[in-house]
Amino acid sequence: MLKLFIRRLSAGKMTLFTQCLNPITGTATWEEKDQDYDYHQEVARSAFADMLHDHERNYKYNVALEAAIKKKHQAGEEANVLDIGTGTGLLSMMAAKCGADSITACEAFSPMAMCAVTIIKENGFANKIKLIHKRSTEMTVGEGGDMAKKANILVTEVFDTELIGEGALSTFRHAHETLLEKGSIIIPNSGTMWAQVVESKSVSAWNRIESISDTRTQNTLINAPLCIKSCSGAAAVHDIQLSRLPRDEFKPLISPQPIFRFDWSGTTPLQFNEKVCLNILPIDSGIAHAIFLWWDLDMDTEGKVILSCAPVWEHPETKNSKHNNINLNELADNIPWRDHWMQSIYYLPSEVQINVNNKFNLVGYHDEYCFWFDIKNDPILDIPNCDRPVCTCITHIAYCRTRIGQLNDKERNIKYIKALSKKIHPNSVCLCLSDGCLLGLAAAQLGAKKIYVLETNILSRRTIEMFIKTNNLEEKVEIVTKDDLPPVIKVDLIFGEPYFISSIVPWENLRFWYLASQYSSIQRIPIAATIKAVAVEFRDLYKIRAPLGVCEGFDLSSFDKLVQESSDKSDSPIDAQPLWEYPARALTLPFTINTFDLSSNVHNHKSIQISDNVPILQNGSCNGVALWVEWQLDPEISISCGPTEEIVPGERISWDRFTRQGVHIFRNIKDVSCTDKLSWSFSFVPKNGSIEFKFKVNTPKKNKNG
């Protein structure tokens, strides 16, 4: 999105005009926003309601606080609590309720700090809790300082999926050096990172682009460049709900290993840079494709209260249960759901063969914020340091992991190749309108005379250039930009997946239609696009938008008001989510919202305004609507960006793993029955590419005698 801002004073009110790129039309537009639009965006992005919905997290913090305060009192000491990064003030209010003698809370984010002051006052703790609007590393202690004296209990939650990614190491180190007495109790007391080496072609498909083959002839159509095959991938962690990965799609090569331990208590110094080498005997042979990582926290000093982020097969609640593909989802339902702390995948610099009879070295590294790993088969006593891996092939910067997985989706590629094969002949001249479209290059190998490939993104362009060179297609394939598209007389087939880097929700790939409409009376693939939807009961995903109300006995409605007002002013009502990670039960049959004839000229269409009702077929909690697009390649072949199996009301939906679906989450969640209906409306303005959806649950009104 292009961020340009102009402020104008009109009728005594400052107005903000934001220029952004419309992903469907490809044109820049100006939108009038609230003068505090920037502020509202920042507040909405800070929303962490799903974390506060995490009852286990809240409960175990409370148990640890209660034990720490009791321990100090039994030792004849005051319990002086410091809460770093207080957010809503929840942990500070817990400390007050547990009998702490003094509580100092700090919060650097201004809107949240002001909200915490309100919440603390509304819950009757204004005289017990002192809130400092600063980072903890800026706080002072002593006469006239932020704290009159040092605290002897620290409670904080400064963790992310990587545990240390939010600066936990520097936060704890500074607190021990400046803000805490010696012998202070720290909550949590320590953290442990667990690693498990796995073989998984499914997981590897998110990291390295493989060759594309024609399964009908078993011929390789497109080879991946060596620099992509040998690249270690993106440096950023791949955070994922590992519990939803089918168990038969990966093979553990080792038992989970505790590879890093962080002592938050201050007993041992925290290291900002560390290397650990584990010499391990595998439990199975195979190719080491990746490392699964997760962490747990010892909340108390005795190690009795453990907060675990382990995936289902290693979680304390389910570890001793029998694992099979039938009950894995059921087991996963029994462990706490967390979108704020997921598991993570780390890809190795190169794939390594592991033999069950031979030990190998798993080497882990971390700096102040990140982890990375390597595997060495050789019995090296002094293993040299390995720099943090970064992408050297550009591809991992150009494309997200979902897109890389999509490029490797064999079933999807088979359908496109079959559709292309019907249209390609020796004199074919094809125009490919998609970003990073390897299937467009495959058309050249299928016999087309000439392929023009539109590439507007510089990184994607450089990637496609590498593929062209590797496959010796320089004479057949020409990369063009929007300004130098070939004339109509030179093209007889327009092809697209469609996929565009700027697209977020699936229907934004209708950009293909706008580009193709510059050409008339030319065959196209795909020929149609259908937006479909289904009303669902999300098991957990709704919590990212659900209000808190009363949380663990404390009224947090002021937080709800702050976040929801800002979200209404800055967020789109439709979000994009990888729904395969988030279980949902269908409450209706899938329904069609609109079908677009992509063989026509989009500019000849009038605006669309339609609405309808869909019957609810299952009792449940209607907390969302899932949306996707089905692309009709030709009369016989279609590609779905949504369900991979038929949707049955009352049953869980199986979703495509290589696209993100659109999601509308209801703020006001209703329990529904088979007498209710989902009403929806849809508008589309071809001139400016504006698409809008509205959804509402309608419950029949009961008569006075009903």
Residue positions annotated with a catalytic role:
157, 166
Residue 349 backbone dihedrals phi, psi, to 5 degrees = -55, -30
Confirm if 238 and 269 have CB atoms less than 8 A apart.
no
User: In this structure, which long-range contacts are made by residues 31-35, counting pairs with CB atoms below 8 Å and at least 24 apart in sequence?
Assistant: 33/569, 34/569, 35/7
Strand ranges (E), 444-545: 450-454, 477-480, 493-495, 523-525, 528-538
Distance CA 92, CA 555 (A): 13
Confirm if 532 and 614 have CB atoms less than 8 A apart.
no
Distance CA 291, CA 362 (A): 10
Cα maximum dimension of the chain:
91
DSSP-derived pairing of the beta strands 102-106 and 129-132: parallel
Confirm if 482 and 456 have CB atoms less than 8 A apart.
yes
Helix axis angle for 37-45 and 557-570, nearest 10°, is 120
Output the 3-class SS for 362-407. EEEEECCCCEEEEEECCCCCCCCCCCCCCCCCCHHHHCCHHHHHHH
Task: For residue 352, count CB atoms less than 10 angstroms from its CB and return exposed for 0-12, middle for 13-18, buried for 19 or more.
Answer: middle
Quick one: tokens of 49? 């309601």
Give strand pairing partners of 13.
10
Distance CA 122, CA 23 (A): 44
∠568-570-571 over CA atoms, to 5°?
Answer: 75
Buried b (16+ CB within 10 A) or exposed e, 372-382: bbbbbeeeeee
Whether omega for the bond prior to residue 225 falls within 30 degrees of 0, making it cis, is: no
Confirm if 169 and 272 have CB atoms less than 8 A apart.
yes
